[in-house]
Amino acid sequence: MTRLVAVSNRVAQPNTDSKSAGGLAVGVLAALEEYGGIWFGWNGKTTQGEPGDPKLDQVGNITYATIELNERSFELYYNGFSNTSLWPVCHYLLGYFRYDHREYDEYRRVNALFARKLLPLLRPSDIIWVHDYHLIPLASELRRAGIKNPIGFFLHVPFPDIEVLRVLPVYTQLLRCLCTYDLVGFHTQSDLRSFNEALSQDEFGGITLADRRRPSSDQLVHTGVFPIGIDVDDCQQLAQVAHLEDKTRRMVRNLRDRDLIISVDRLDYSKGLEARFRAVERLFENYPANRNQVSFIQIAPTTRAGVRGYTDIRHALEQATGEINAEFADIDWAPIRYLNRAFDRGTIMGFFHEAAVGLVTPVRDGMNLVAKEFVASQDPKDPGVLVLSNLAGAAQELTDAVLVNPYDIDGVADGIHRALRMPLGERKERYDSMIAVLRKNDITAWRTRFVDTLIAAHEHVRLVS
């Protein structure tokens, strides 16, 4: 019997309710529930010594197989190469880039560790689906150990242009690792074009799309575009319930009939948070009629506390909040409320349901599911407006959002003002168009298309990328 083996840096807790999980977890769990199988990865804990065998937890037809990581290995592999080398390069943010060969060496060793710990759990009929930039070399380690199963890789972050990728001293090694997969998937056509361009460079051997073959095999390495989606019905149901709950009602009462602009992000420099705050400031400067009529709420819980630069972002946002509120606040109105904490997913959907504007302005993003969740959470009879960065992958699908350049502070302010003044008829037309896209490319379509294409690719069926 065919099983699906999903591999990711982190594994959701075995008792996680898929209805409250994020996009990746929802997609992986749904696929695992359909096929049965294993979700393998790190359990979030570190040890001073050598990691032991995987801890196995069986829930229904899914086995959660998790391992610890050595504390030093984690620091070099995760906080080091993954998030101070790969993450900045993939997001075109070279001011945050740093390379240390010791971190790369540990990145490779941790991938080898993942392969060793996974090997005893595999069966010949398993389909292996590897997720994201932390685990690019995993297939090469599994192939070296003799695994012939179909192995697919999905990149959840952008794939950079070759001129940016060249900053990374080991980029050719990583490209060769990607070519050991049967299928490499991306969110957007532009990511796929960048990957193909990188493979065609002379210093990489001039490998074209048609010539790509797995080492020691005549099997083609396929590529494809698989935009990740959301569970639209789930978002709508959560919003319908949560907008009547106490937290949402309290938030609405505190607005006192003012329009709400809302943003929800991880505290990450790729999200363009400080520029976003300054765009809200510019909104009140350039369009004074919005003063005391609009409130902005930014929810941004801290993540990756061990990565340098994230503490600086938090301090910058706290300072910007203080400055903007000091300039524009009134006795009964604070222009900005910055909440450096997490809320459960249902509450977020309730907040989205009440918002006039969803402000999603990353300076670069692979997809951005928050943008999609905001649209899905709206009241179809009186929907809010999505103001979306044109540098997010979601902008290639949600073309009826108000698209803005996140580096253009005045332009973002103009976009927000336009959204706040948009007539109901236009808001409904834009909503109807975007919700149709979300249903077409929902979370089920994402994982079904990827798994089906991976199976076909492994069976030597030539596919159009």
Pairing of strands 222-225, 183-186: parallel
- Respond yes or no: is residue 156 known to be catalytic: yes
- Respond yes or no: is residue 458 known to be catalytic: no
Cα angle 73, 133, 217; round to 5: 105
* CA separation for the pair 252, 52 (Å, rounded): 50
Q: Which two tokens stand for residue 370?
A: 């928050």
- Within 13 Å, how many C-alpha atoms sit on residue 240's CB side? 8
Say which of 365, 400, 414, 442 is annotated catalytic. Answer: 365
Cβ burial, residue 34 (10 Å; 0-12/13-18/19+): middle
Query: Around Cβ 166, how many Cβ atoms within 10 Å?
Result: 15
Q: What is the dihedral of CA 164, 388, 316, 250, to 10 degrees?
A: -150
Measured N-to-C along each axis, helices 345-354 and 246-255 cross at an angle, to the nearest 10 degrees, of: 30
Say which of 91, 131, 134, 156 is annotated catalytic. Answer: 156
CA-nearest of 159, 164, 168 to 133 is 159
Which amino acid, one-letter code, is at 54?
A: P
Answer whether 111's CB lies under 8 Å from 141's CB: yes
Query: Around Cβ 257, how many Cβ atoms within 10 Å?
Result: 7
Residue 298 neighbours by CB under 8 Å, 6+ apart: 262, 263, 264, 265, 273, 276, 277, 317, 336, 337, 338, 339
Q: Which sequence positions are flagged as catalytic?
A: 156, 365
